[in-house]
Homo-oligomer: A and B are copies of this chain.
Amino acid sequence: MTTEPSTVPTGGPHRPPEEEYLRLHHQICFSLHAASRAFSGVYRVVLKDLGLTYPQYLVMLVLWEHGELPVKRIGELLRLDSGTLSPLLKRLEAAGLVHRARSTEDERSVTVRLTERGDALREPAQRVPRRIAEATGLTAAEVTELRERLTRLTDALDSARLTD
C-alpha cells in the first residue's frame, strides 16, 4: 500500500479536480520557494565581496536610502520583526557598518544609523544591481511586471491570513 500509492498522474479516463489542484499547486508553491532560494544563491555569490548576506543587504539598502531609521521602521519596510532584526543588526554593528543607540526622546526606540564604513560600502554596492539584473535575464519591463504581480500576491496572502 505504501510501496505504490497513487502513482503517475492517472490511468483513469477523467482526472478528479482535486488531483489537478494538487499538481498545479505543488508547482506554484514549489516554484516560488525555489526561485527565492535561487535568488539568494546568486546574491550570496555577488555579495560575498561586500561581506554581506542577502537580508543584511536589504537592511543596508533601506539605510542607504534613509540614512538612519528606528528598528521599528526597518521592520515595517522589510516586513521583518525584532526577532529577526535584533540579531541581524547586532551582526552589522559587530562588522562596523551600523551604530545603534537608544533614542533620547523615546527610550523604547533604538535608532540605527550608518557608520562611515557603512556609508562607504554604498559605492561598491552600486555595482550589485546590474550584476543581478544580468543573472535574471529579464528585461526592465519584465522585472516591473513580475514585481507588481508578486506584490499583489503578497498583499492577497497577507490579507487572507488575517481573515483566517
Contact = CB atoms under 8 A, between A and B. Distances in A.
Interface in A140-164: 140, 143-144, 146-147, 149-154, 156-158, 160-161, 164
Given A25-B129, A130-B21, A45 B151 contact: no
Nearest to A22: B129
A5 B120 CA distance: 10
A102 interface: no
Of the four ranges (under 10, 10 to 19, 20 to 34, 35 or more), the interface on chain A belongs to 35 or more
A134 interface: yes
A50 interface: no
A68 interface: yes
A14 interface: no
Residue among A22, A45, A158 having the largest count of chain B Cβ atoms under 10 Å = A22
Contacts of A66: 7
Interface string A52-81: 001000100100111110000000001100
A41 B161 contact: yes
A24 B151 CA distance: 13
A136 B157 contact: yes
Interface in A20-57: 21-22, 24-39, 41-43, 45, 54
Nearest to A132: B25
A64 B42 CA distance: 32
A3 B67 contact: yes
A151 B140 CA distance: 18
Per CB-CB distance, the 4 closest pairs between chain A and chain B, nearest first, are A25-B129, A135-B160, A36-B36, A137-B156
